Amino acid sequence: MRTAGQSRLSLASVALGVVLLVAGSYWGLARAPPEIFMGDVQRIMYVHVPTAWNAMLALVFAFVCALMFLFTNDWKWDNRLEAAIEMGVVLSILLCTQGAIWAKPTWGVWWDWDPRLTTTAVQVFAFGGILALRAFAADPMKRAVWSAVACIVAFADVPIVYFSVKWWNSLHQAQSTPDTVSSAFHWPLRINAIGILFLWTGLVALRARLGALRLRGELAPPDGGPPLVTR
Amino acid sequence: MRGVIEGGWEFVIAAYAVTAAVLGLYASSILLRLRTERQRAMKQVP
């Protein structure tokens, strides 16, 4: 009963996220004015920037899950860790794709080995590598410990991604603040950011549930008796 | 040459389409995998 309620809550979160994302995108595409230099191409920012914020949040959550698993040995944190890393990788790949589509008309190239882009590529491969590691490790405990440790190591890149535009001379623009962005652009950015937040939290909860079911199958005794892990 | 990007709606549409496709496909994959795993777990219950 508790599981069914949690699943419904997760689905409601996903649905709310979709509604907000549609509303924010409509505002950004149809109601917000074009930017003075980038024109209509700037409208890509209403999905690119919220994706970037949420990719980082998902990976911060993965880092917290990794620490919690190592401290508590509770399987629910391993399930959440796997879900958050998968979400973080999906959002990071999406972020790079949106960025490339924006870069072509503004920079003239799809990709440049600039510090922000390079560190983001490292982020994709580092966390994608952890998912690959998990796929190869058959023993659930080794898989959980190795991926938690690897996540803590890979997480070192996340603040580097964030500060790369401040630390190095970058083609990518520095972080914007409400003071440096016209108020006409605020709401589509905020609505889409909150929409993606609801979307990924709901999806991570569902993905963690999937991980828990798989783990229960892995840890079940071969004679068909009760599973050793019920979380 | 005015230093202003003109047009570019095809890039905007591409970015939003990619976003919808990636998030939609990932959400669908989770729901499908979850359903499959639930059916497998139900079969294991004696």
Structural domain contains residue A148: yes
> What average pLDDT does this structure show over A172-200?
87
Contacts of B38 in chain A (CB under 8 A): 213
Q: Are A97 and A67 in contact (CB under 8 A)?
A: no
Tell me: pLDDT of A222 over 80: no
Task: Using only the alpha carbons of chain B, give its radius of gyration.
Answer: 21
Tell me: pLDDT of A133 over 50: yes
Q: Considering chain A, what percentage of its residues have pLDDT values greater than 70?
A: 94
Q: What's the gap in Å between the CA of B20 and the closest CA on chain A?
A: 10
Q: How many domains does chain A have?
A: 1
Structural domain contains residue A74: yes
Contact B8 A220 (CB under 8 A): no
> What average pLDDT does this structure show over B27-42?
92
Tell me: pLDDT of A1 over 70: no
Q: Are A19 and A159 in contact (CB under 8 A)?
A: no
Sorted by sequence, the CB contacts under 8 Å of residue A33 that are 6+ apart come out as A184
- Please state, in angstroms and as integers, the Cα–Cα distance from residue A6 to each residue in A1, A136, A203, B30, following that order: 9, 30, 12, 15
For A64, the domain range is 2-218
Structural domain contains residue A158: yes
Give pLDDT, residue A231.
47
Contacts of A93 in chain B (CB under 8 A): 22
Mean pLDDT, chain A, integer: 91
Give pLDDT, residue B2.
67
Structural domain contains residue A225: no
Any idea which residue has 């962005």 for tokens? A181
Give pLDDT, residue A2.
65
Structural domain contains residue A209: yes
Q: Are A70 and A148 in contact (CB under 8 A)?
A: yes
Q: How far apart are CA B19 and CA A100, in angstroms?
A: 13
Structural domain contains residue A7: yes
> What average pLDDT does this structure show over A151-175?
91
Structural domain contains residue A228: no
Q: How far apart are CA A66 and CA A81, in angstroms?
A: 6
Q: How far apart are CA A158 and CA A123, in angstroms?
A: 7
> What average pLDDT does this structure show over A141-163?
96
Give pLDDT, residue A148.
97
Q: Are A58 and A82 in contact (CB under 8 A)?
A: no
The beta-carbon neighbor of A44 closest among B15, B22, B38 is B15
Tell me: pLDDT of A226 over 60: no
Contacts of B35 in chain A (CB under 8 A): none
Contact B5 A37 (CB under 8 A): yes
- Residues of A (158-177) whose Cβ lies below 8 Å from B: none
Give pLDDT, residue A127.
98
Q: Are A61 and A204 in contact (CB under 8 A)?
A: yes
Contacts of A102 in chain B (CB under 8 A): 11, 15
A104 inside 8 A of chain B by CB: yes
Residue from A85, A80, A72 nearest A155 by CA:
A85
Structural domain contains residue A72: yes
CATH number at residue A61: 1.20.120
* ipTM reported for the complex, 2 dp: 0.91
pLDDT digits (tens, 9 = 90+) for A63-99: 999 999 999 999 999 999 999 999 999 999 999 999 9
Give pLDDT, residue A230.
46
Other Cβ atoms closer than 10 A to A28: 24
Name the residue with higher pLDDT: B3 or A208. Answer: A208
